[in-house]
């Protein structure tokens, strides 16, 4: 068995056990109690399925969010050592078997009290869901196709329709008087 196949096999088991842990921990997120306007946005994105992260960020900037107030954290199934990115990228290798995250940039992202966290993934990836669950963001927005207990608001589209997502996201923030 080569290294990549054994790594995929181990990641499958990590995913399986993390899903079981999430099932036991996750309850519905608390209601939104803050009337604060949205200034800071964290984007947690699955780049194994979505390849337009910078275009998503640009769409948010075009919707009047300040670029300097948008932080991105991206998940990839396989991160190359020599890979260059404009934002932190992590993979399964950054979580141990006790489900403790081993990457400082991921821990920093989780601890950041964003005004809103955009969980930009539309498949059930337990590692991304674990990060969403642990995030200190005061308001969480995600996709309808993902565990509904993790986010305050769910948008019914797919990741490839990022422009539609941003339009709906802004509309919802207006409804909640957040912008």
Whole-number pLDDT of residue 28: 52
Range of the domain at 128: 3-175
Q: State the Cα–Cα distance between residues 21 and 103, nearest whole angstrom.
A: 20
What's residue 2's pLDDT?
Answer: 44
pTM (2 d.p.): 0.82
The alpha carbon torsion through 63, 68, 70, 71 (nearest 10 deg) reads 160
Q: Between these two residues, 9 and 118, which has the higher pLDDT value?
A: 118
Instruction: Tell me phi and psi for residue 139, to 5 degrees.
Output: -145, 130
Q: Pick the closest to residue 122 from 75, 89, 65, 86 (CA basis).
A: 75
Q: What's the whole-number mean pLDDT along residues 28-49?
A: 80
Residue 55 is part of a domain; what is its CATH number? 3.40.50
Strands (E), the chain: 41-46, 70-75, 89-90, 116-120, 140-143, 153-155
pLDDT, average across residues 119-128: 90
- Give residue 64's region: left, alpha or beta (phi > 0; psi -120 to 50): left
Q: What percent of the chain has pLDDT over 70?
A: 78
Task: Output 17 or 100, whichever has higher pLDDT.
Answer: 100
Number of domains present in the structure of the chain:
1
């Amino acid at each position: 068995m080569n290294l990549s196949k054994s790594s995929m096999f181990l990641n499958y088991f990590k995913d399986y056990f993390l899903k079981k842990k999430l099932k036991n921990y996750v309850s519905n997120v608390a209601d939104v109690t803050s009337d604060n306007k949205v200034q800071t946005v964290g984007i947690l994105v699955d780049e194994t399925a979505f390849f337009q992260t910078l275009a998503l960020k640009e769409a948010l900037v075009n919707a009047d969010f300040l670029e300097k107030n948008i932080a991105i954290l991206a998940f990839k199934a396989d991160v190359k050592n020599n890979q260059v990115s404009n934002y932190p990228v992590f993979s399964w290798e950054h979580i141990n078997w006790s489900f403790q995250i081993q990457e400082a940039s991921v821990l920093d992202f989780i601890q950041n009290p964003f005004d809103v966290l955009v969980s930009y993934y539309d498949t059930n990836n337990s590692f991304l869901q674990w990060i969403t669950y642990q995030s200190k963001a005061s308001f969480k927005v995600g996709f309808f196709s993902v565990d509904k207990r993790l986010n305050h608001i769910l948008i019914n589209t797919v990741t490839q329709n990022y422009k539609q997502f941003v339009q709906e996201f802004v509309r919802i923030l207006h409804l909640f008087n957040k912008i």
